[in-house]
Structure 1
Amino acid sequence: MTSVDRTAYPAFARAVSVRELAESFTPTEAEIEWARGRTQDERHLLALAVWLKSYQRLGYFPKVEDVPAVVVDHVRGAQDVELERSASRSAKRHREFVRTHLGVTYEAARGRQVAEEAIRKAVQSKDNPADLINVALEELIRARCELPGYFTMASAIRAEVKNGFFQLVAGRLDPSTRARLARLLVVDPVSRRSEFDRLKDVAKAASLGKFKERLALLAEIDAIGPTGEWLEGVPAGKAAHFAGEARSPTPPTCARSPRTSG
């Protein structure tokens, strides 16, 4: 599972510095007045202000209880009120206040479309799910869309595109070629190795005999078939990724990141 730490997905630092508190979480007088004008009592004022500053920093709404205590204390110091977790109805209304104030939209369908288009374009040259997520994040921020809480679509689109390339190559192989390639995977019961495994042998110490063996192995690989023609239309970067997966087939999956919704 791809860790959120490996992506550019915004999150609270484990230890929020004094500098970050001052630069990112200090409400301005105008913001405090704005918050006061949209809450009916002091109990919800701090929650609204914390959400405002958190959204400005993260690009999405965290749960109030997930905000570091130092951030809450810093925002509280600017208002001198106690934090009150808003009721569900109030919380939804407060999130809409923040979105309107910051000029961002919460349109799940549009956000998904923006992210999906970005991932489909990036997956032609990138393969790491973290890289695909980062590209989608950049596009969502550029489009002023609220960030989604998870990116399961990255893995789904990645698999879809990869399967498309696999079908493209497989469609170019005649039955005899497919049978020949399938035989490469048959494991010898004595040596416990397959021909495919042997093809991945690295070059050994330089000597005339080893050099001749290497040339013979390369000739066998070339005799497999016109691989250049089979891979025509597959980006070089994707072909390199597929080769890497053949050496160590452990594809990662996409990350989930808990947060609020709606």
Structure 2
Amino acid sequence: MWVWEAVYIIEGLLKNTSEVQPTTVHADTQGQSFPVFALAHLLGFDLMPRIRNWKELTFYRPSRQSEYVHIDALFGEPGRHVIDFDLIESQFRHLMRVAVSVREGTISSSTLLKRLRSGPRKNATYAAFREVGRVIRTVQLLRYLSDAPLRRRVTAATNKVESFNRFSQWIGFGNRGVIADNDPIEQEKAMKFNALLTNAVIFHNALDIAEIVRQLLEEGWEIDPEDLSHISPYLTEHINRFGEYSTHELGIQPEAYDPKLDVDFTPLREQDLTASLGQAA
């Protein structure tokens, strides 16, 4: 049974207890569908996937009488592809109960969408989720078309995710990355250990990059924050995946991590703020 990848991202965000609380979900084309858009919206997340094959997508009208001067062709034949707001209104309380159940952990988002997908197409809950998803995806597509900075952010975010996945696969090179164990517990261990090691190497790379930047600053170089924003922590050339085993280093206490980097990142933050203000205007 196919369940879209964004559902598992949403599941992870719901279980997140850290101080950082993301509100936007990025995914590739496989990470979106009408029910996923609806569920993300009801849970308070902004689903912004990078979608291929736009010519195959449908934009939905709020009513049969709705027509648009410049973009009406996007919505197809007049009077068709209309949102059933009466159905959404009649099922609204049930939709909210389902969303609360997912947020409280009574049912997982993946299980919910499996049930919705396997149920009859005339099921009122499935149909209501589909209608809400049509509304949200149409709005998101229009935002994507009209906002160039948003398109750049979505593309950049998706590229970062894909780079992380490639880096994680490179780290988990043993057995060509294949998890041969049939035990779900052992499979979960392998995935978590790989994620832990991947993040440890990323952290190590970030420390090395920061140290090099500090050395350049001491030598009098001027560091442009725009240049730093293009440096990836997914570096592999300097890493020996088979390791180097020096037992005399086991007792060496590492230096405390210094997070301070004497670089002014204000221009980058101002660019983000300007883009946000432009979008709001």
TM-score range, shorter chain: under 0.3
What TM-score results when the alignment is normalised by the length of structure 2? Answer: 0.20
Higher Cα Rg: structure 1 or 2?
1
What TM-score results when the alignment is normalised by the length of structure 1? Answer: 0.21
| Greater length-normalized contact order (CA 8 Å, ≥ 6 residues apart) | 1
